[in-house]
Structure formats: C-alpha cells, structure tokens
Amino acid sequence: MSRHGKNAEKEQQENVSREPEEAKAAEMEQAEPEQPAPEDEADKMGRQLEEANAKVAEYLSMAQRVQADFENYRKRNESVRADSYAEGRRDVAAVMLPVLDNLERAVEASASSQDEALKNGVDLVLKQMMDVYQKLDVQPIDRLGEKFDPNLENAILQGTAEEGEPGTVCQVLQKGYRMGDKVIRHAMVKVVPE
C-alpha cells in the first residue's frame, strides 16, 4: 500500500471513530434539553403558588358571600312568613267580628225570652266564640269614661257636658277589637266635646 493509501485509510478510521463520538454528543444534547436555572423554576413555582392562593381566597370569599346571602334570605323569608301568618289571623278575626256582634245582640234579645234552652244555647255559642277570640289574643277595646284616643276609636257622635268629662268617651256604640298591638276594628264611640 502506498503512503497515500495508508494515510487515507487512517483518516477514514479517525473519521469513523470520531463520528460515533460526535453522534453521541449530538444525542446527549437532544436527550438532555436545556434545563432552566433553579432560580427560574423556583420563581415559576412561586408565581403558580401565589395564583393558586389568590384563587383559593377568591373562592372562599365567594362562598362566604353566598352563605351570608342565603342566611339573609332565610331570615327574610321567616320574617315574611311570620308577618303573613299574623296578618292572616287578623284578617280572619276581623271577618268574624260581625258574627260576634250578632251573637251579643242575640244574647240581649234572648234575655226577654221565656225559652231557657234558647237563652242557654245562644249564651254557650257566644262563650265559645269569646274563647276562640281569647286564644287568638283578640281583646275588646273598652274605654268607656276614658280620654278619647283616635288610634283606638272613631268618634261618630258628640255628647253633652252632662254625660261626662270633656274629651272622654261617654258611650260605646260598637265595640272595637285589637289583636296584640294591632287594631282590627276601631270602636265607634260618642265623645263629650272639650
């Protein structure tokens, strides 16, 4: 072999032996992607943690607002329900007042009757009606001889000075009633002028 041939062969062998090293180096570069510096990774994780904590705080705040809104809604509904129930009771009591008035008139009319069974029957029905009104906390407004109060009474007649003190109720023409602190029917009264 000539010298050239030996040199060429040697170069070829060197190239062949270098190629696997270069290939390995290239493979290593591809296999190991560039890793970010540890500080960059820590910053990224810190930002993600801050974002997650912000979301947690936002969701917690939202849940607390929803819970408070629901509690307010529940209390409002309870209050409305209680008010509606009380209003319904007052309405029923007011609608039944003419029946009570007629029963009282019937008791007065039966006083002159000779029929004891009629008197007792009407008295019993009136007593039952009064018991029901007492259970409903319905009280008559009885202010005969007291100072006239326009919140409780309607003055429909004017009396004379001989009938009582000036400004007082001298006669009750129709009883008034109240349930608790609410008037369900004002009393119709005759008042001595002042």
pLDDT of residue 22: 60
What does the DSSP 8-state code read for residue 168?
A: B
Residues 6+ apart with CB under 8 A from 101: 174, 175
As its CATH architecture, domain 139-194 has: Roll (2.30)
Q: What's the 3-state SS for 13-54?
A: HHHHHHHHHHHHHHHHHHHCCCCCCHHHHHHHHHHHHHHHHH
**Which residue is associated with the tokens 């119709």?**
188
The tokens describing 10, both together, are 């040697």
pLDDT, tens digit, 9 for 90 and up, residues 146-158: 999 999 999 999 9
pLDDT of residue 20: 56
**Which residue is associated with the tokens 């904590």?**
53
119 compared with 33, residue with greater pLDDT: 119
pLDDT, tens digit, 9 for 90 and up, residues 78-133: 999 999 999 999 999 999 999 999 999 999 988 888 888 988 999 999 999 999 99
Chain mean pLDDT for the chain: 84
pLDDT of residue 77: 93
Mean pLDDT, residues 183-192: 94
Mean pLDDT, residues 163-184: 91
- Quote the longest CA-to-CA distance of the chain: 164
CA distance 140 to 174: 10
